[in-house]
Amino acid sequence: MNNIHSLYLSSENNQSTANRSRLQNNLKSAAINLRQAKEELVKAQETLKAAELKASDAFAVSRYLESENNRKAPFEHQLKYVKEECEKLKSEKVALERTKCSLAMSITEKNAIISQKDISIQALEAQIRKQKSEIAQHQSAINSKESIHQHALNRQACLYRNSLNIQDDLYQEILKDKEDKIALLQSFGNDYMNTLTGCNECITQNWKEYKNMRSHTPMVHSRSDTNLQALGNLHFKQDNKEVIQVLESANRQFLSDIRVYKNMANDSRMLAAKEVIKLEELNKKYERLQRELLDTKRREEEERARVQRRDNSIRTKERELMLLKEKNTTLNNQRINDQQDIVTLRREIQKLTKKPAIAKFFGYLGFSGRGQ
């Protein structure tokens, strides 16, 4: 029975350790995901800064081209086309500023969400540490109580069997072996008192506490666009063909820059969508951790209820043992009274056998007439 009980306790301990290790792994993965999200947010901020620098360079180039248009009248058509492209770039800049504002707002919201997640994770870790200490204390108390109760139950069962044997002997041999019966009753009382004292076995368990890992944000180095810097250093000559070639190359460069800016805007949108998906996954993981925490609390409540039921059963056994002890004392008193009655009957029979008529009657019956 002790082996079965130890196997049951070992299985429960293995299950509790597996649950705790799973919770710790989930917390570690959540911390890693949060750190990656922070790194990706920093990268998005760096890309936005680079786009802003390129947009400012393009705006400066457009101003330079407007001044050249006022100074060079014959090239109004080309400058008009450049103005249109500049307007497009301005609209793209406005769109980029809007996306920048939206991304900044989303970044602030994400930072707030991440801070809330950090606070909630710290609270969960504190709660888990508290639960670990409570589980260790509760487990040590359960082990000590179970060992004491198991010893008490085994001893009480032995005493119960011994008491039944003693009662059978008392019913069968009520007039024999007075001193042996008194010794048996004394041993019964001593064994019962030794059982009540029990044994104290304390099992302590030390649990290690894990700390959070510090996140390190990598540095993202931005590069300046050499083509835009080259456009800012243009020197027009008096030859119209060379000026037209320079303007056409500038227009081609503006178109390529517009495509680059559009691609950067699309990339930033994709990054924002990925960040939203990651935040949703983190929310799901957080909810799953909360559900697991509630499950652990429910299992602890069930364990407490089971221990309470076991304590109640042990108390009922103790009450039954007290009733048996009281019944044994009443039987002892009844035996003493019966012995006293037998002694008085013997004395009365001896008195009666001294009379001659009664002695003669007992002689016919085969008795010697001397107290038999």
Where is average pLDDT lowest: 2-16, 141-155, 158-172, 279-293?
158-172
Decide which of 126 and 151 is more confident: 126
Band (219; pLDDT cuts 50, 70, 90): very low
pLDDT over 70 percentage in the chain: 39
Structure tokens at 191: 């064994």
pLDDT in tens, 151-164: 655 565 555 455 55
| Mean pLDDT computed over 215-233 | 36
pLDDT at 188: 46
- Could you please report the per-residue DSSP string of 9-42? HHHHHHHHHHHHHHHHHHHHHHHHHHHHHHHHHH
Residues ≥6 apart with Cβ < 8 Å to 300: 131, 134, 135, 138
pLDDT at 213: 33
Residues ≥6 apart with Cβ < 8 Å to 364: none
pLDDT over 90 percentage in the chain: 0
pLDDT at 345: 78
* Alpha-carbon span 274 to 268, nearest angstrom: 10
pTM of the entire structure? 0.25
- For 218-257, give the secondary structure using H, E and C: CCCCCCCCHHHHHHHCCCCCCCHHHHHHHHHHHHHHHHHH
b/e string for 299-314 if b means 16 or more Cβ within 10 A? Answer: eeeebeeebeeeeeeb
* Alpha-carbon span 205 to 234, nearest angstrom: 78
| Mean pLDDT computed over 332-336 | 81
Where is average pLDDT lowest: 5-9, 88-92, 237-241?
237-241
Place of tokens 């400058």: 79
By three-state DSSP, how is residue 175 classified?
coil
Contact 198, 204 (CB under 8 A): no
| Mean pLDDT computed over 63-86 | 63
Contact 38, 217 (CB under 8 A): yes
pLDDT at 333: 82
CB-CB neighbours of 122 under 10 Å:
11
pLDDT in tens, 173-211: 554 554 554 444 445 444 444 443 443 333 333 333 333
Torsion of CA 305, 311, 316, 321, to 10 degrees: 170
